A = this chain, B = another copy of it.
Amino acid sequence: MSTSPRATRRTVGITEVARHAGVSPGTVSNVLNRPERVAATTRRKVEAAIAELDYVRNSSGSSLRSGRSGSVGLLVLDVTNPFFTEVARGVEEEAATAGLAVVLLNSAEQQDRQRRNLRLLAEQRAAGAVVMPVDDDLSDLVWLARQGTAWVALDRGDVSEEVGCSVSVDNHAGGLAAGRHLIGLGHERITFLTGPFAIEQVRRRHDGLREACAEAHLDPDQAVRVIEQPQLNADHGERAVDAVLAGGPRRRPQAVFCANDQLALGLMKGLGRRGIRVPEDISVVGYDNVDFADLVHPGLTSVAQPKFDLGRSAMRLLISELNDPDHRHERTWFTPELVVRGSTAARRT
């Protein structure tokens, strides 16, 4: 509603609103932050002035004064991975109920990018952060907490309550479930196709698989072969096909358990190219139960993680840490669930 399109930049502040409404700046501030403390009639006057002047609050000013900003960071390992975006939705939804703005940051699985992003959060005096750490080194997070920014670690089980809150999924149980399923179908030569073992989640899933073998009186060293790829994406899944099939039809695995759906889907594509049928020739199991797992043909059997709830409860933990003055760090565990689809079948031979 400005008169001239190129009017000089007027900078409407709390003081101008106050003048316009005939009250003091302090009252305007109260209307904005603790409306219950101000009488209804003056509140309406102030609100009218705000609307008329098209006042928009300057969050730099407020967070400078109060020492903390009203936004929280969400640092994910890979914005491209559907697993993380689903988690992000959970975080966002919960943050919205607390009136917190979420800034999404991407570490792309690189330590220096993680460090840069954490520093950014410190500079912005972010209220808190939900972080999926790239590796076991949590020293940067400890630093962040010392700067006054609280955090919750996501999907990393080995964070002790001494250091901070965490919410994670039981990766051992996931590996165990996948292993039991495959062994139950009669498979005795299983390949574990994975990313770097430096990733804790991957190690646990592997352990779970091996435990399933032991349960069934199979020697894990005999039954399980490991193929380690540098990254957990579809491209590396496809490239792994040679290694998976090495040894010819007699020694090739009857089933492949992939540490990740992307790997599994890539592998399935590679197998298709080779003319190997899934599940007739080889069963495939993925991990994460990404939406797309249901869209390929055959549907991908996968270990489902409660992605949305994961994000939501991480944010809840963070909010409680922000509000509760004598908060003790907590650890929340989720249990994964196997979703069986067409990519796994009973052993044929």
Chain A residues at the B interface, C-beta cutoff of 8 Å: 2, 9, 11, 56-61, 63-64, 67, 69, 79-80, 82, 85-86, 88-89, 92, 101, 103-106, 119-120, 122-125, 146-148, 234, 265-266, 268-269, 272, 291-292, 294-297
Contacts and interface: CB of A to CB of B under 8 A. Distances in A.
Given A58-B125, A103-B103, A103-B104, 18 more contacts: A56-B119, A57-B123, A59-B125, A60-B60, A60-B61, A60-B63, A60-B69, A61-B64, A79-B85, A80-B82, A80-B85, A80-B89, A89-B106, A104-B104, A234-B295, A269-B294, A269-B295, A295-B296
A292 B85 CA distance: 15
A269 B291 contact: no
A228 B265 CA distance: 30
A101 B82 contact: no
A121 to B, nearest CB: 10
Given A64-B61, A79-B89, A122 B265 contact: no
A4 to B, nearest CB: 11
Nearest to A122: B56
A92 B104 CA distance: 11
Contacts of A295: 234, 265-266, 268-269, 292, 296
A145 to B, nearest CB: 11
Nearest to A119: B56
- Chain copies in the assembly? 2
Contacts of A56: 119, 122-123, 147
Contact of A124 (B60, B147, B269, B292): B60
Contacts of A79: 85, 88-89, 104
Given A60-B60, A295-B292, A106 B92 contact: yes
26 contacts: A9-B148, A11-B67, A56-B119, A56-B123, A56-B147, A57-B123, A58-B125, A59-B123, A60-B63, A60-B64, A60-B69, A60-B125, A79-B88, A79-B104, A80-B82, A80-B86, A85-B85, A88-B106, A103-B103, A104-B105, A234-B294, A265-B295, A266-B295, A272-B297, A292-B292, A296-B296
Contacts of A266: 295
Contacts of A106: 88-89, 92
Contact of A64 (B64, B269, B272): B64
A234 B268 CA distance: 21
A146 to B, nearest CB: 7
- Identify the interface centre among A11, A89, A104, A120: most chain B CB within 10 Å of its CB: A104
A294 B262 CA distance: 12
Interface centre among A103, A106, A292, A295 (most CB of B within 10 A): A295
* Smallest CB-CB A-B distances: 10 pairs: A104-B104, A60-B64, A103-B103, A265-B295, A60-B63, A59-B123, A296-B296, A60-B60, A79-B85, A292-B292
